[in-house]
A and B are shown apart, each in its own frame.
Chain A
Amino acid sequence: MKRRFFLPILVVGLFACASLSATGPLDVQPLPAASTVSPSEDRASSPQDFPIPGPLRSFLRMAGISQQIPVAEVLPSLSWNVSALGFQGSDRPTEFLVLLKRYVVQARELSELAGGDGVIRVSNCEEAKPLLRILGYRTLGQCGEQGTSLLTADAERAFLTVDSGFPLTDLEQTLSGGKPFEYPYPSTRVPVLFAENDWTTASSKNHIERSRDLLDTILEDRSMSRLYWAVSKMDPQTAIYLRQNVGIRKLLAYAPLLDFYGTHLCIRNGHVLVPGGSSAERAWEDLAGASPAAPAEFIPRLLLKDKGWLVAYFDVLSIVNSKQQTEFTEPKRLHRFYDALRPPDRSSNAARGVFRPSPWLLLLVSQTHWDQNAQPSVPGSLDVWKEFLKKDSSRAVREREKNYPAKTPEELLEAMFARARKETDTGTLQAYITLVDLDSKRSPAHRLSPETARLMIQKFADYSDQYRVFSEFPELSDASISLFLETAEELAKVPNAVRANALGIMQANIGLWQILARQGQIASADLDDSWQNAVKPFAHIRAASELYDAARNSLSQLSRASIGKTAISQDDLIELLAGPRQTTIEGKRIHREMADRIRSVLNGQRIVSLDTLTVLGDALKSKESGTTPPDYLFNVAGELHEFEMPQPMFTKGEREEWAARIYNNHHTDLQMRSNVGAILKSPKASRSQIEDARGQLTSFLRDTLVALNYAYYEPPGAQALHNNPLFVRSHDFAGETVEGIKSLWQAPQLFGVGYPAGGGAHLVGSLADLPYVLADLEQDFIAPKNTQALIWKELVPSLLTSAVLPRWWNVSSTEMHAVTLYQKAGEELLTASANDEGLRNKVMAILSDRVLPRRSGEVEEAMRAGQVSDIISKMMPADTFYLAAEFERRYPNEEASSGDAGQELARLREHHPEEVSWKRLSQDFGVPHPTLGQTYARELLNVPPLPAFSGYASRLLGESWDSSNLYWARLADETGRSPAELNVLVPELTERMVEKIFATDFEDWPAILRAMREAGDEFRQNKMALLTERPAQ
């Protein structure tokens, strides 16, 4: 699936773009394997490799590159790091680059010192002197005697020494009279893309200083480093063609564009393979102004047209599946949509910045649905959308739309293309993408009505993150959607003193509904009614006591829908959230463990029990009607005051000075002043006092209900949930602690990070997107296993979310075994392809749906070379899974290709067609795509690895990883675990996997695969102590 592997760059990708009519291989020679060389050998090195001075390990440390990276990836990764991290402003080097350059100088000095055999030797203090000078250290104590140690003499050099991992401790031992110091200091040859002088002679920087070698060129020339990275990601045949027919020097001008959009460019048989295939070639020729049959002309024009927007369009259409490609590349559509997309002026540049712009173009193209007449589907009606189009976007777009007033679905889609470059998350385009997707999940008889669509578009900017629940549960009717939005609006009218609790409680109950619905504890037929019953009580709240009643009423409705009775205790609720009731011993054990985890968070947050709040509320209600509460309730009321603030470390004044508006415990302060016990006790309490006391319970009730939501989504390794008792209490639902929050109903934002006087981080906003937000907050508590491990912060929250949100209570052993068999059958197909060209073509055609051209070429070449087992170990589980499933779909009668697993799968399918179906397995073992699919429903989407975008869309990258759960399921199946055990195994294995990630750049997918397999191997070998251990038999 992913792009970079160990094979030398030039030998791979001979058949990339296989699905797009690949031809035969070019005549290129494989590279020699990477090896270490002594300095004297450097001069004789092959022109296709390059010696990195000093041990590779040290260089990688200094260059910020994973120690686990294949040598073929060293120069591309270096290039990426230099171009992305090495400069600020206009070519001013960052500290990272300054240090790296200094290290290279030091490494060259040490190589010189190491001499011809490449070993640094020191046997006494005298011999150590030149080495210590280079290292920047001096001896402390009488050199040569016991206890001699090293101290910094030259801080600049010493920093390079320790940061690069020079074995100082061993040297100290020698200088203390120990054995002689011997440190191999070899250079390491790493493969070069093309030849060294391709790059050195093309760099304009080298015209000033011609002695610069490739390493210096990459370190000095920002454009060249970016081009090197970009070309190394491309399909190799295409890269070679461009080098020969355009030239590296000319390509320099296109470096940013090739970086962003070069991976799908593919030249075969003298043609650029275009999205839509040969039938679309003419249309692309018209757009680019050159024929795809003339690649040397076509590609530069494609790149430069409209400052990169045409190639951005080309790239997006290359990413989406063949069905979408076919629809979008119908010649007229291709033109008109591009006309809408292209910038009306010259101001917009598609290659500006570190990340690609316009994620919405990708989402629009991938999420558009087509009706039975092959027309874009329109949620609601065209008239509704026209209303909003008029109010939206720039003058230029509005001018344009005078001529194209969106009278047809195609014109509506065209209008959306016109908005795809706009940098917003809440415009009409975003509403369109969300509603199209949401509507497509509903049955034809229950499409969104124009009124509901209008309401949703109208309120999109304030509620878009809440719409995920409607996408996840298409059973929710228009009435349910309207009721929710109207009720939410009503809450804005609630008095300030009550509003935050009202927002929190209603959302907490909705969150509980969502969990119970997802776990199948609310029957499908009852989803709509139960939703409305849970929401309705909040429709007309004006006082705290009304809110208390509404909260109880809403909770009772949830209870009735799930367990058939309206009274629900704290334990009942926890047991429900832990999962459906289990009947097996193993199932019960896992269920108990899940419940304990929820309880553990409630303990950590020092939450008041729901039972306490219920009984106190009932007692106050009775007191209103004259019933004297029993004495024991006075003690029960004492529980409200058991929570104590942490021992203060700051004065009030310090908090105000050092954490203005961050530290706000208004909510907790009010709780501490509550007088429920006194009112209960007082024989003279007035009706309004009693009413007020009942209202006081709402703030505790909010914490309890919100804490249950937090606890359910507890990410593995979480610490804030267990150790900051203010965390849940500090959730700011009403935006009281910050300014500038646009909507309180959108996904919460994290505040207070890195403010020691702020009382800890807390969330501001709604509970929408809570699984991801908690994972994002807690991820930094996962401690990496490797020194300088570069954990991919942009990916980890999605990994954790995908591990925590799915539950496997309703999964059968047959299903889990089918997941194993699909993966194994995919591997069998790869193996069989090695000696069967016809089969190989079919296999590669399927894989090309998920795999980038370069990677596709690597796979095919490995198969040709008979290195199948090696390539299988580096295949993503989702790739082999998809391969087997899709092969069966496309070629149902080709049993001859089936190995043992394939045949077993066929038998299983025959007996359990439902459980083995793609749809079922996708629902149970897929991952949520809250950004890509606007839903937390699980699904296997089968998209290639998506590129990195900035901001909100950075999550797209992580959401395109869907291998973990498939792999963990196979692991569980092969080690005799039950599906129920996945509920506790998956989060723990994912945590272990994250600890092992050692990545270099944002798109270092192989690093994720390595970490996953390492965690899996440890588990298989019983090297991993897990929280969830089976009891001894």
Chain B
Amino acid sequence: MRRNFLLFLCVVLTLGSGRSGTMNGQDSSDFRVVVSMVQLNVAVTDKNGNYITGLHPEDFVISEDGIAEKMATFAEGSAPARSVGGAEVPVAQPSEGGSDGTLNSMIAGSEIFVLFDTSNYMYRDFVFAQDAIAEFVRSLGSADKIAFYSYSRDLLRATSLTADRGQVLRGVRSTVAGDSAALYNALLLTVKDAAQTTGRRFVVVFSNGPDSSSVVPPEDVAEMAQSAGVSVYMISTQEAKLEPISTAVFERMTAQTGGKAYFAKSWKDERRAFASIRDDLAHLYNLSYYPKANPNTGWRSITVKLAGEKYGKYKVRTRNGYRLQPTRFSAPRKTSALDTQPAGSN
């Protein structure tokens, strides 16, 4: 019988407790940070890029800022997550957590947000890109949920997270060519939507590359994705490879978040890239841990290694850290329920 666990056990740490006294007798420089359980999507490959399967929890060594961490849950591929080493993972309280934050959400497959560039940069490849995305959507496992968004100057939430492939495909085919490109604005909103969900969360970006209208830089988006545990995959058309800025961003953002970048020279390459992403999602390990006490209130680096020399030849890919969200002045903002509602179609 499946047990429900509360995944997001919030640990409220008071940092800076070594400080004492204040201007008025209290130390106002103390502030709270909320540290949730940290989830990692981890790919292990050999030198040829082949996935290494069948690893066990004890094969992984996780550390945060050099502090060894104890794994709480482990899963391979789409298999159910299980608690590790007697880690105490509290049973979910339905009245508090509902379905969110339970292991159920982790074992129900991945939650994949597809973000499609419909800006004028994409114009020439628009129809081929749609074909490739449609094929990708059809090919995903039935347990996966997909949201389909598109962007040019603005973000359009064409289809909200759903397991209904027909609905997603209609969203894909309903896109229209737009104008200027605000990739990082749109990606920020997409990552924030993904961060609202639980389980294995991925964003797949299909873009020509250039950004002409964003006001937020890719660094902030990458940090948001890293901090939320959202892996970002980016497929670019050939032009992006020729455009060094986008190439740099695509490669680095995906590396930082544990995803992958692809530069497709043709629509066949685009299809291959999508196939590779699908393959990647099917072979990821999902690990989690509760961070041990750590005075660092800023950026925390994460390292995942394989234990033992026999695994030394393998490559491990996951996000490389996260940033705590400071709450010096107040609790974080509430999020409106309407923020992630789907757009209608015309």
Contacts and interface: CB of A to CB of B under 8 A. Distances in A.
Nearest to A757: B245
B336 A1026 contact: yes
Given A61-B176, A597-B333, 8 more contacts: A162-B175, A163-B176, A169-B169, A574-B329, A603-B330, A635-B29, A786-B346, A789-B156
A759 B174 contact: no
Nearest to A603: B329
Contact of A1025 (B170, B329, B337): B337
Given A630-B21, A647-B222, A777 B215 contact: yes
Nearest to A793: B153
Given A756-B184, A783-B154, A649 B249 contact: yes
B28 A644 contact: no
Interface in A183-216: none
A719 B216 contact: yes
A635 B19 CA distance: 6
A165 interface: yes
Given A785-B343, A1024-B338, A611 B188 contact: no
A723 B189 CA distance: 10
Contacts of A647: 219, 222-223, 226, 256, 299, 321, 323
Interface stretch (A24-32, A147-155, A535-543, A917-925): A147-155
Interface in B194-213: 211-213
7 contacts: A169-B173, A631-B20, A635-B20, A649-B256, A756-B245, A780-B215, A1026-B338
A808 interface: no
Nearest to A788: B176
Contacts of A644: 298-299, 323
Interface string A382-411: 000000000000000000000000000000
Nearest to B30: A635
B50 interface: no
A168 interface: yes
A654 interface: yes
Contacts of B90: none
A760 B180 CA distance: 17
B220 A723 contact: yes
B215 A635 contact: no
A152 B131 contact: yes
A163 B18 CA distance: 62
Contacts, number: 240
Given A149-B135, A642-B298, A788-B346, A722 B333 contact: yes
Nearest to A160: B127
Interface of B: 16, 18-23, 27-29, 123-124, 126-128, 130-131, 134-135, 138, 153-158, 166, 169-170, 173-178, 180, 182, 184-185, 188-189, 211-224, 226, 244-246, 248-249, 252-253, 256, 267, 297-299, 321, 323, 325-338, 341, 343-346
A477 B120 CA distance: 53
A722 B155 CA distance: 18
Nearest to B25: A632
Nearest to B213: A754
Contact of A165 (B174, B216, B248, B332): B174
A162 B127 contact: yes
Interface string A618-651: 1000000000001110011011001010111110
Interface size class of A (residues with CB under 8 A): 35 or more
A587 interface: no
A639 B29 contact: yes
B130 A646 contact: no
Nearest to A760: B217
A67 B216 contact: no
Interface in A692-742: 719-720, 722-725
A896 to B, nearest CB: 46
A787 B345 contact: yes
A988 B338 CA distance: 11
B23 A614 contact: yes
B14 to A, nearest CB: 14
A753 interface: yes
Given A600-B332, A612-B28, A719 B222 contact: no
Contact of A785 (B182, B216, B344): B344
A781 interface: yes
Given A614-B23, A754-B212, A1027-B336, A600 B329 contact: yes
Contacts of B224: 723
Given A615-B23, A780-B215, A599 B329 contact: yes
B173 A603 contact: no
A787 B345 CA distance: 5
A782 interface: yes
A609 B28 contact: yes
Given A603-B326, A632-B20, A720 B174 contact: no
Contact of A162 (B126, B153, B213, B256): B126
Interface in A100-157: 136, 147, 149-152, 155
| 7 residue pairs, one from A and one from B, having the closest CB atoms | A632-B21, A599-B329, A599-B330, A1025-B337, A615-B23, A635-B19, A761-B215
A789 B118 CA distance: 13
A468 interface: no
Contacts of B249: 649, 756
Contacts of A648: 219
A602 interface: yes
Nearest to B253: A649
B217 A780 contact: no
Contacts of A161: 127
Contacts of B331: 596
Nearest to A1029: B334
B16 to A, nearest CB: 7
A724 B222 CA distance: 11
B154 A611 contact: no
Contact of B28 (A152, A162, A163, A611): A611
